[in-house]
Chains A and B, each alone.
Chain A
């Protein structure tokens, strides 16, 4: 069949699978989700301004001019950063411009009047800035004064003080001079080709970034800005943090003052005038929230550079001042208008474009005609299944039996339920893990290893103690989406060497939304391996179509993987000449396959969670249709495979289907996800079922158990 061939060639190679996992829309939706993508509007505005001025002003983009711009910008950058920190802490520091002016004066005063050496004057100036910040911080932190009013008043006092001082000392600064190479270097020097003040700013930015995003103090600072009450309840010392924030703000202004003093050797009534509002405009434009708790140093810088470029460029274009003023106003209005709309609609946009269905041409579905010779022919073999723990289990996705013939089921409420006794009448909660426990397997030491959707892989010791096996794998370096976390560990199996192989069926959705992954029909899943010996986790098979059931073959040399969305079973060679090769074992399955488990006769059991229908198969070939469906139709009315059947297959290692067990009514066993053979019986688990089923297998080895088949006498290799 041509369709089958297409499917086969489509899903084998890594490159084709990778290609299938990509689409521009998908890329965009993942880009939109990134936190660093949030300030994209200001960033674009910044680049656009730079481009515009480069095009209209000769030599604007030249290295010489850019260096000169950096030198001119750096001091304002420090002040903007100071403002950003105060905003992030949930306050505001309107006195930044005045502190800057005072520190500029102080630096000159220390050098020119007190004749201090530069190495002493710089720390002294920083101390002045810190001291003023300390006053602000004490008032705001410990007296709980309102930051806006308080810093507005300190602004008035500081500004008047520096004006008085200027009047007194202006002539001294004019007549004296300082002969110091260090001082000249502060004013005109370069570090690695970058002006000294800009280089310092860059270093401060890097430190500030690490501080804000990686250090405990930074997190506390953000926390008191985001929700002060919660921060207090969490035990953060709000008063001390606020004091610290305003001291930091004062020190940053002092940095600006030191460099300005070195560069200009000028102090007058215009120094830093209006910088408080310029800085405020800048950082808010960059995306630092006025209401606190949100912002990065980079955003503050983006905003600062926009404001700086706007004034600088427009003035240099030689246009009248009132036009400059009007243009700045309009550009700011436009930028903030677009940014606000952007911020508001980003979430909606992500929702709109996150699901990206692709064309999934399924292989033809075989006939299920009752009474036909097909191994798939419907029958009633499961209708009479005996019910265990009726209404005592909530969706046992997987079932397993231990060496003491006790039956375990992984249920929706995050529990592993254990039934014991001759007819399994004794129910107990074996362990509570949380999440959604799915596939299970016993390791050699009889620890029950469980794949838990939303959590990772966990183990339960025979003494009922729960422990974490792994919850993350290596990140795919070329993916925007951080896929290191395990989103939905589904089924697992353990190789003879102890390695745990498990499927993580989607990296784009969660347990509750995994049906969207099926609707999307892209290879978003992967098969992951955990090696207990090295405690390392790594992705074995990336970009795979909804890997679900995992079973290590009887000989332990290959891994059988069921793909739910492709309705196929694959084999991944773990060793031998074909190591790492992926091949199709079972094609043209009539339903969406789930768990695979070993059978006593050397074959394998496969559960079908849903039965394919022609309508659904057609839908899988129509991505546009599915997109409209998931957007416009409520979830419970989506087209789905037939879920009101139960079906279990047996197939051979070569991909031959031998027989099938059906519950065509779906009354007792629909959405079958798992089956285990144990001592001549087949135990049945279902995602939505209220029981565990059991049917007697004719002619099966009555002594065969899963544990023996893996670790004991029944191994076949």
Chain B
């Protein structure tokens, strides 16, 4: 079903060369604006319509991936693309199998979220070898595919660290004690983020990392660790967490210790309303969002670009880094926070007085 015939490929190649000439033609003919626009659209439709985009996240049901999925689906529908998504539900073996099957189906563009730098490498290479554009999101594997879209983890770490230094470093008059709550030590995103953070911290003698622990993306683990840390270091200055949902546990521990106004809680993440709520409730001092909604659009733009470029897959390595966005109480609202998907189930409890509260 996903197969493209050889003939349509040739046609595309021809159209591609025509496309390159278009801007010139558009400049020359002011009067034919409408016509050119129509031609442009026709060319675009020819390149895009009916093509297939496959999306393979680590799992759906997580705010970040759900938002990517929502944006991609919305855009694909509007652009007339076929959109396929597979949900391996955090099972790496299932993810491999799903990828193998997707690659065998030969989609035009494949968007993959790597769980590690090596796991999917070989299949991604095979996909590009057979003519599928591969876009990697938020973490590149050891294979450089056509495009990478996502946050630069070193930069994210550096940005947070710079703010922490501003708050706790030399001259701030604070203790300079910092706690770091990682997700998983082995995750590449964690490794890069730590690299960025330490790069900045090492420049300021006043900063002391008193705890650097992994909490397995679990708020309760983060809470237990942080409760001990705040116990041992009542003068803690800042807590940095690698994921909003997990760091909310750390914030809770600090709040339980009555120190939420003293300890600056930083977190990075996708920037859903959950994160914004934490900011607005004062649990997070600042939140560095890598804007999942924007990333979703950038993924689609990249895909469209790749489809229109007509280059053979595997010939270039585009990189589109997302601009991280600082959220604090002033701006943690509206378009800066994306909404979570709503339950498909209606309330089974007739008692629920839904009307009076909302």
B and A form one assembly:
yes
Spell out A's residues near B (CB within 8 Å): 58-59, 64-65, 68, 72, 76, 163, 166-167, 170, 173-174, 263-271, 273-275, 311-312, 315-316, 318-322, 324-325
Write the chain A residue with the least CB distance to B2: A58
Interface string of B80-106 (1 = CB under 8 A from A): 000011111111111011101100100
Distance A544 CA – B142 CA, assembled complex (angstroms): 74
Write the chain A residue with the least CB distance to B65: A321
**A273/B92 in contact, CB under 8 A:** yes
23 contacts between A and B (CB under 8 A): A64-B104, A68-B101, A265-B122, A266-B119, A266-B120, A267-B118, A268-B115, A268-B116, A268-B119, A269-B116, A311-B94, A315-B88, A315-B89, A316-B101, A318-B85, A319-B87, A320-B60, A320-B61, A321-B59, A321-B61, A321-B89, A321-B90, A324-B89
Enumerate chain A residues within 8 angstroms of B61, measured Cβ to Cβ: 320-322
Enumerate chain B residues within 8 angstroms of A311, measured Cβ to Cβ: 91, 93-94, 97
CB-CB under 8 A for A167 and B92, given A268-B118, A312-B97: no
Enumerate chain A residues within 8 angstroms of B120, measured Cβ to Cβ: 266
Interchain residue pairs A-B with the least CB separation, the first 7: A321-B89, A268-B116, A266-B118, A270-B92, A269-B186, A321-B87, A174-B142
**A167/B186 in contact, CB under 8 A:** yes
**B97/A316 in contact, CB under 8 A:** yes
CB-CB under 8 A for A72 and B96, given A174-B118, A266-B119, A268-B119: yes
Given contacts A264-B118, A266-B122, A321-B90, 15 further A-B contacts (CB under 8 A): A65-B101, A174-B117, A264-B121, A265-B121, A265-B122, A267-B118, A311-B93, A312-B101, A315-B91, A315-B98, A319-B87, A320-B60, A320-B61, A321-B60, A321-B87
Distance A264 CA – B117 CA, assembled complex (angstroms): 12
Question: Which one of B86, B104, B118, B186 contacts A315 once the chains associate, using CB atoms below 8 Å?
Answer: B86
Enumerate chain B residues within 8 angstroms of A58, measured Cβ to Cβ: 1
* Interface flag for B191 (CB, 8 Å): yes
Write the chain B residue with the least CB distance to A64: B104
Distance A549 CA – B59 CA, assembled complex (angstroms): 76
Write the chain B residue with the least CB distance to A269: B186
Residue among A58, A59, A72, A268 with the highest chain B CB neighbour number at 10 A: A268
Enumerate chain B residues within 8 angstroms of A264, measured Cβ to Cβ: 96, 118-119, 121-122
Enumerate chain A residues within 8 angstroms of B122, measured Cβ to Cβ: 263-266
Distance A271 CA – B184 CA, assembled complex (angstroms): 14
CB-CB under 8 A for A166 and B186, given A58-B1, A315-B87: yes
**A167/B191 in contact, CB under 8 A:** yes
Question: Which one of A65, A320, A322, A325 contacts B104 once the chains associate, using CB atoms below 8 Å?
Answer: A65
**B86/A266 in contact, CB under 8 A:** no
Residue among A270, A273, A316 with the highest chain B CB neighbour number at 10 A: A270
**B184/A269 in contact, CB under 8 A:** yes
Enumerate chain A residues within 8 angstroms of B185, measured Cβ to Cβ: 163, 167
Enumerate chain A residues within 8 angstroms of B1, measured Cβ to Cβ: 58
Enumerate chain A residues within 8 angstroms of B186, measured Cβ to Cβ: 163, 166-167, 268-269
Write the chain A residue with the least CB distance to B87: A321
Distance A173 CA – B60 CA, assembled complex (angstroms): 30
Smallest distance from the beta carbon of B77 to chain A beta carbons, Å? 16
Distance A428 CA – B330 CA, assembled complex (angstroms): 113
* Interface flag for B187 (CB, 8 Å): yes
**B118/A170 in contact, CB under 8 A:** yes
Interface string of B1-20 (1 = CB under 8 A from A): 10000000000000000000
Write the chain B residue with the least CB distance to A175: B142
**A318/B118 in contact, CB under 8 A:** no
Enumerate chain A residues within 8 angstroms of B97, measured Cβ to Cβ: 72, 311-312, 315-316
Smallest distance from the beta carbon of B36 to chain A beta carbons, Å? 39
Distance A163 CA – B191 CA, assembled complex (angstroms): 13
Enumerate chain A residues within 8 angstroms of B84, measured Cβ to Cβ: 318
Smallest distance from the beta carbon of B116 to chain A beta carbons, Å? 3
Enumerate chain A residues within 8 angstroms of B87, measured Cβ to Cβ: 315, 318-321, 324
Write the chain B residue with the least CB distance to A270: B92
Distance A708 CA – B104 CA, assembled complex (angstroms): 86
CB-CB under 8 A for A68 and B100, given A58-B1, A269-B186, A324-B89: yes
Enumerate chain B residues within 8 angstroms of A268, measured Cβ to Cβ: 115-119, 186
Interface string of B166-191 (1 = CB under 8 A from A): 00000000000000000011110001
Write the chain B residue with the least CB distance to A166: B186
**A270/B89 in contact, CB under 8 A:** no
Distance A58 CA – B84 CA, assembled complex (angstroms): 14
Distance A273 CA – B94 CA, assembled complex (angstroms): 12
Distance A244 CA – B137 CA, assembled complex (angstroms): 46
Distance A273 CA – B1 CA, assembled complex (angstroms): 34
Enumerate chain B residues within 8 angstroms of A166, measured Cβ to Cβ: 186
Write the chain B residue with the least CB distance to A324: B89
Enumerate chain A residues within 8 angstroms of B191, measured Cβ to Cβ: 167
**B117/A315 in contact, CB under 8 A:** no
Distance A163 CA – B104 CA, assembled complex (angstroms): 31
Enumerate chain B residues within 8 angstroms of A319, measured Cβ to Cβ: 87
**B117/A312 in contact, CB under 8 A:** no
Enumerate chain B residues within 8 angstroms of A263, measured Cβ to Cβ: 122
Enumerate chain B residues within 8 angstroms of A270, measured Cβ to Cβ: 92, 115-116, 119
Enumerate chain B residues within 8 angstroms of A269, measured Cβ to Cβ: 116, 184, 186-187
Enumerate chain A residues within 8 angstroms of B116, measured Cβ to Cβ: 266, 268-270
Enumerate chain A residues within 8 angstroms of B142, measured Cβ to Cβ: 174
Smallest distance from the beta carbon of B186 to chain A beta carbons, Å? 4
**A170/B117 in contact, CB under 8 A:** yes
Smallest distance from the beta carbon of A209 to chain B beta carbons, Å? 26
